[in-house]
Amino acid sequence: MNKNVIQQDYSINVKNRQQQNQHNSLLIWFTGLSGSGKSTLANQVEVTLHQQDLKTYVLDGDNIRRGLNKDLGFTPEDRKENLRRIAETAKLFIDAGVVTLAAFISPLQKDRDKIKQIVGKENFIEIYVKASVEACEKRDVKGLYQKARNGEIKNFTGISAPYEEPENPDIIVNSEEQTIKESIQLIMDKIKTKLELPSHG
Ligand SMILES: Nc1ncnc2c1ncn2[C@@H]1O[C@H](COP(=O)(O)OS(=O)(=O)O)[C@@H](OP(=O)(O)O)[C@H]1O
Ligand SMILES: Nc1ncnc2c1ncn2[C@@H]1O[C@H](COP(=O)(O)OP(=O)(O)O)[C@@H](O)[C@H]1O
């Protein structure tokens, strides 16, 4: 970092914003294979929080890769940079007082550790959306597994690129064994205390 770039402080800080919103800000990070259910669950958790008047925003793999990170692909280096930029973006959202949900494959433990370090461990909840490659391939929501099997897509997670299961996730939901409703309930129970919702119960 350039030593001539100095942090500028403003009168209104994250605590002021959280007080006004009447809830904490937090990064709720969903990791798992393509098709495991990250976007589905992030969407439903956001709907639930939004209905309770919380300020929310979802950062999603496909959407970010069509904009901010459209210069990046799926090599290990590009995934690392993709996730670093997303973590820095999420940090701004947390500072803005927003409950931020992120749905990214984020396949490597070292990259997920870095995200936690960037946003601060007190602001980070890691949810492992567990589902086997077989189940995700059977769903093949976007037809990408078939393309990966045909060799049309290289470095495809679960087929030709690794996925490391999280070492110590805060929450595990198994989308082969639990219904969407059960998973949402489990996630809501866990995040409620972290969000400190004084007027929301
Ligand atoms: N090679 C390869 N491997 C994995 N995924 C691929 C690939 N090519 C395209 N896609 C699509 O990109 C989405 C994953 O992007 P992410 O930013 O979440 O990936 S990563 O965290 O940087 O690993 C992923 O979205 P999800 O299916 O929602 O996970 C895919 O739609
Ligand atoms: N228990 C479950 N939890 C989440 N998704 C499920 C579950 N059962 C079936 N699905 C389906 O699996 C698919 C997951 O796709 P998606 O949410 O796009 O995954 P990802 O974002 O991880 O790529 C959706 O079509 C969803 O309806």
Radius of gyration of the chain (CA): 17
Q: Indicate whether 142 belongs to any domain.
A: no
Within a domain: 69 = yes
Rounded to whole angstroms, how far apart are CA atoms 121 and 117?
Answer: 6
Q: Provide the CATH number for the domain around residue 35.
A: 3.40.50.300
CA torsion, ordered 87, 91, 96, 102, to nearest 10 deg: 30
Query: Which pair of structure tokens corresponds to residue 28?
Result: 């709720």
183 annotated ligand-binding residue: no
pLDDT digits (tens, 9 = 90+) for 113-146: 999 999 999 999 999 999 999 999 999 999 999 9
Is 0.90 exceeded by the ipTM? yes
27: helix, coil or strand? Answer: strand
Q: Residue 85 falls within a domain, yes or no?
A: yes
Q: Which ligand is nearest to the CA of 184?
A: 2
Q: Is pLDDT of 112 > 50?
A: yes
Domain presence at residue 2: no
The boundaries of the domain holding residue 115 are 21-130+163-195
Distance 73 CA to ligand 2 centre (A): 23
106 is catalytic: yes
Q: Is residue 119 part of a domain?
A: yes
Our count of domains for the chain comes to 1
Residue 61 Cα to ligand 2 midpoint, Å, equals: 14
In a domain, 173, yes or no: yes
Q: Which of 7, 21, 38 is nearest to 127 (CA)?
A: 38
d(Cα 197, Cα 48) in Å, to the nearest integer?
14
pLDDT tens column, 45-92: 999 999 999 999 999 988 899 999 999 999 999 999 999 999 999 999
Q: What atom in ligand 2 is closest to the CA of residue 39?
A: 21
Query: Strand 99-103 vs strand 171-174: parallel, antiparallel, or unpaired?
Result: unpaired
- Report pTM: 0.97
Where is pLDDT greater, at 181 or 201?
181
Q: Which ligand is nearest to the CA of 162?
A: 1
Catalytic residue chosen out of the listed positions 106, 160, 175, 183: 106
Cα distance between residue 143 and residue 157, in whole Å: 14
Residues with CB under 6 A from ligand 2: 32, 34-41, 103, 139, 141, 175, 178-180, 183
Asked whether residue 158 is marked as a ligand-binding residue, the answer is no
- Residue 124, in any domain of the structure: yes
Output the six-digit token pair for 73: 């692909």
Closest ligand 2 atom to Cα of 30: 22
Instruction: Specify if 200 maps to a domain.
Output: no
Contacts of 108 (CB under 8 A, 6+ apart): 76, 79, 80, 162, 164
